[in-house]
């Protein structure tokens, strides 16, 4: 089981699991984009001798991405200053930078957007609901981190949403049934309204995004909205995918250091522990 540690300002989780001749060390932390945050001292102290660093959210470092693109992405972080790497991608940016500088491989075990979308559609969910779920899941942490670094005055929900939709369109625009979507922020407002909520794009409305995402994630309603159901299905799919990827990494790496958000790390440790109990 993970061990909870505490500093003066925040707590974090650590754990180690042995699978056969390999070992996985875990660090679960709070996300931050502030270079002065104490969490980054914890990250640097955690990363000892190992064969592989595993990080969250750096899609260009997924195992199925072309090696030259992985190398360019790692070099990009490696050549930034430490504060720039942290502002770019938080703890994942710092780990990528340290991996590049130390000659240690860095991989991201996440499923890609197409993997998630294909699974959602196979489970009977609508394309517009999948895109709205992706936007609402990602906006709150984006808002929190931007406010932490730049203040709420810099928040622009509509533009942030439009940029993210353009990225989604570049990956999913030719995949059925996403070809028929109109990739504009109004798509999100229409789905949110359909589900009984109101959302505008004023900079002061970011708190509404939090309330909507909290309501959509509420387990009190057994059935819930389509987004509630999708959230449960895709979170389980994501966690199992990540677990399987990390276990596969042990085929080529004997000691792995995993740095992830504390909200996911306990679930991952439990899944990998179950694998250990069942097969080893």
Summarised one tens digit per residue, pLDDT across range 171-218 is 999 999 999 999 998 998 898 888 777 777 765 666 677 677 666 655
146 band by pLDDT with thresholds 50, 70 and 90: low
Least confident of 13-17, 102-106, 249-253: 13-17
Contact 168, 238 (CB under 8 A): no
Sorted by where each begins, the domain ranges of the chain are: 3-111+239-279, 113-233
What is the model's pLDDT at position 103? 95
Measured CA to CA, the distance from residue 67 to residue 185 in angstroms comes to 34
pTM: 0.82
User: CA–CA separation, 110 vs 233, rounded Å?
Assistant: 15
Percent of all residues in the chain with a pLDDT value above 70, rounded to a whole number = 80
What pLDDT score was predicted for residue 55?
96
Q: How many CB atoms lie within 10 A of CB 181?
A: 17
123 pLDDT more than 90: yes
Cα separation, 231 vs 215, in Å, equals 12
Region for residue 183 given its phi and psi (left: phi exceeds 0; alpha: psi -120 to 50; beta: otherwise): beta
> What pLDDT, on the 0 to 100 scale, is given for residue 279?
44
Give the Cβ contact number of residue 78 at 10 Å: 16
Q: By C-alpha distance, which of 5, 216, 6 is closest to 14?
A: 5
What pLDDT shows up at residue 44?
A: 94
At residue 280, the pLDDT reads 44
Of the candidates 63, 140, 128, 118, the residue with the CA atom closest to the CA atom of residue 233: 118
The whole-angstrom separation of Cα 27 and Cα 216 is: 28
User: Does residue 11 register a pLDDT over 50?
Assistant: yes
Strand arrangement, sheet containing 52-54 = 3-6, 11-19, 22-29, 255-261, 52-54, 105-107
Q: Which residues pair with 16 in a beta bridge?
A: 25
What does the pLDDT look like over 49-100, one tens digit per residue? 899 999 998 989 998 889 999 999 999 999 999 999 998 899 999 999 999 9
């Amino acid at each position: 089981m993970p061990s909870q540690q505490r500093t003066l300002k925040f707590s974090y989780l650590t754990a180690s699991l042995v699978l056969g001749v390999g070992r996985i060390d875990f660090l679960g932390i709070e996300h931050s984009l502030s270079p002065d945050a104490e969490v980054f001292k914890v990250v640097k102290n955690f990363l000892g001798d190992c064969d592989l660093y595993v990080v969250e959210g750096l899609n260009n470092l997924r195992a199925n991405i072309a090696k030259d693109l992985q190398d360019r992405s790692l070099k990009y972080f490696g050549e930034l200053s430490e504060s720039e790497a942290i502002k770019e991608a938080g703890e994942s940016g710092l780990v990528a930078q340290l991996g590049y500088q130390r000659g240690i491989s860095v991989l991201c075990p996440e499923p890609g957007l197409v993997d998630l979308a294909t699974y959602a559609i196979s489970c009977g969910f609508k394309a517009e609901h999948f895109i709205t779920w992706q936007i609402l899941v990602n906006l709150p942490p984006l808002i929190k981190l931007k406010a932490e670094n730049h203040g709420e005055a810099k928040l622009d929900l509509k533009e942030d949403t439009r940029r993210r939709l353009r990225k989604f369109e570049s990956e999913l625009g030719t995949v059925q049934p996403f070809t028929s979507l109109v990739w504009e922020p109004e798509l999100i407002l229409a789905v949110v309204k359909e589900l009984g909520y109101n959302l505008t794009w004023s900079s002061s409305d970011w708190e509404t995004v939090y309330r909507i995402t909290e309501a959509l994630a509420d387990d009190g309603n057994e059935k819930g909205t389509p987004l509630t159901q999708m959230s449960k299905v895709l979170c389980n799919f994501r966690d199992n995918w990540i677990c399987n990827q990390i276990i596969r990494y042990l085929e080529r790496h004997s000691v792995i250091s995993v740095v992830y958000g504390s909200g996911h790390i306990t679930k991952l440790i439990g899944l990998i522990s179950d694998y250990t109990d069942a097969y080893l």
